[in-house]
Chain A
Amino acid sequence: MEDMIFYDRLQFAFTITFHYIFPQLTMGLSLMIVYFKWKYLRNKIEKYNDSAKFFMKIFAINFTMGVVTGIPMEFQFGTNWAKFSELTGGIIGQTLAMEGMFSFFLESSFLALFIFGEKLMGQKLHLLTGFLVFLGSWASGWFILATNAWMQHPVGYEILENGKFVLENFSALFSNPWLLPAFLHNQLASVVTSSFVVASIGAFYILRNKQIEHGKLFLKTGVIFGLISSILVAFPTGDWNAKNVAKHQPAAFAAMEGIFETEEAGAEIVLIGQPNMVEKKLDNKIAVPNILSFLTYQDWDKQINGMDKFEKEELPDNVPALYYSYHIMVGLGTVFMGIMALAAFLLWRKKLYNIKPLLWTIMFLVPFPYIANLTGWYTAELGRQPYLVYGLLRTSDGISPTVSSGNTLFTLLGFVALYMLLGLLFLVLVGKTINEGPKSKLH
């Protein structure tokens, strides 16, 4: 049984990690595409239109990969998590179906129109199609986050005698206090990713002395979007999320902050430290006293419950993974703010395009927003453990009892092989598009 849970979780973690590489870019990029197109309509400078069309090609490749890698997710609910789907389908089925019916179709239809229809529709309608692609991709995020918010903080439900969850209040799904902060935090984090992608392509062009005008535009736009989004992702949205975790999932909050023992007179914030699960303490810790209490409750001396206040069954089952995921996310977020603030300052001083070490840094930083986004999701998902639906349905009660661990392992290996192939294809396609550049013959 333990084996079955482990492999089911491992397979889902692998497939969703790979899947989330793609939508995290498309959501943020769609906003930047709308910006480029809107700028073009205002100033009629061709490079803005080139940029919108160029990034829509990158968007299309990512969107396609997102569709392909999203298919196993849909199947896995039935294959690996049949009991979970059977019990909660009456609720999560609503939001997941809305995601498919409203967002996916909106996004894919208008994506095709944006790519093919500029000449037919004219510039204003072309902007509108770009906006509808953006709307579709953000609505998609909204419905997925609504599903996840219900799992993190279940509301508006009733449990029948047979254990099935049914929806009692439809609007409660969307007014869930967990949803809005999680949505804003997630969307802004995806804007951070897209900003770094746009800026790094710009840095690449400048360093290669190729497509310089577009390179400068990409770098400038990426840096401005990156600075704004990396600040907003920390405050207020990240702060709001953390307060939600402290309020609704206090055991998860203690674990992700690395608080083993409750301190009566205010909790410290841990900057660095390694969880020692045997001795129940953090090794080699560097911490600042009372800051966590202040950040969470605006009270320096407010007590925050440590893991010692909770039963073992209530604590997340992998405290080190949760602790490291959270700290990697926060650490990287801080680095992003620093880099983007420096780049924005140099942009203002008109020196950014000539400082090669910074251009190299921006170019090579591109994988890190992806890592930060993924570790953010790991924090949310590991923090919810040992539950699938927080406080109501344990993960061990949601798996498919008839699917063996050997079967799951076999398909996991298959996914690894196929995803390596897809990943390679993705890199070739994106590399080719970047190499052609925004002023390719296709434009």
Chain B
Amino acid sequence: MSYIIDRRLNGKHKSSVNRQRFLRRYREHIRKAVEEAVNQRSIQDLDRGEQITIPKRDIHEPNFGHGSGGKGSIVHPGNKEFATGDRIPKPEGGGGQGAGQGNASNQGEGEDDFVFQISQEEFLDFVFEDLALPNLVRKDLKEIKEFSIKHAGIVSEGTPSKLNIVRSMRNAYARRMVMSSGSRKKLAEAEAEREALLKLADSPEEKAKIAWLDEQIELFRQKIERTPFLDTYDLRYNHHVKEPRPSSKAVMFCIMDVSGSMTQETKNVAKRFFILLYLFLNRNYEKIDVVFIRHHTSAKEVTEEEFFYSRETGGTIVSSALKLMEKIVKDRYSPDQWNIYAAQASDGDNWDDDSRICRQLMEEEIVDLVQYFTYIEITPREHQSLWHAYEQVQTNHPKNFAMRHIVDVGDIYPVFRDLFQRRQHESNR
């Protein structure tokens, strides 16, 4: 006798723990591969899995075994022309067919590298590993305006609109069964007796008895029927509770210089940086708004498409963008409710007098509004006035403001990691 069991419904990820163990063990390899991928991939597919290659020797599990050399002996099938005593020259540069029988490979294909795929989720885990958002606060627990409705069981009181029909009917049925059980029992007895009498039935006495029984039966039937079909205490209602939901909203400002001096290449570097930041925020907050502000001599809020691809010419006044940002924050993103992050990218050009205004704006207004303001300067040239102005901001407000210098694409990821490295005081919180 055999038992046949359907196991398909059992979990299929029995190996997932072992897989995690494997990833943990080779995290250095994976991290390196991820780093390369982030720097080399086009922007659109930053957000997917990655193929990881690990050299076979690093992953090999050692075992005692025979090496090549010495005297080997082996039997092969499929002889065609060999005769006893034939001497066959060995193939160039190899141990010949002799010795290699021990490890008939279940290890795949010889010396190739070990290649496997990590999922998008895992990829991003590695990209943002050990990074933390500075000054992350769950805004505004007291002024909660968002609630989520949660199912909280079944109750016996409620509004008709929340009537749980199935439960109510079930209760009613049970109650009817109980309440009428006595009558039904007697009814069954009377009917049985009547059946029995009908079979012999002739004498007047018996006929009278039958008539009496008929009466009784009718009585019981009525009694059973009179049991109310639905009673108030059968009713059951679905119960819901409102649960306050802490706001975890963030808004991200992308500010970029689009003046004539910014080439498409510089913009691409900026775009990668913005996207990294966006993906990172996305992992930390449920809801993210992104505001794109581009500027030359004047600033404008634009769509993503316009932000990255339309070209403008002319001079540069950075403070215009900062003013616009401040205005948008005041209008739409109250700092009480929103976590505000900003990233500014520029090649460092600015109208000379403006840098002073920028610093003033930054120190007096913006730094207090935002969680974190990052400025990246993408230029192979010397720094100009804006950089120096911002440097002072950084010294005065090291917690909320950071700036870095990027020369080419390869710098983006290291700089990003550097900017968001988990700080000591962060991890203590």
On whether the two chains bind one another, the answer is no
Residues of chain A whose beta carbon lies under 8 Å from any beta carbon of chain B: none
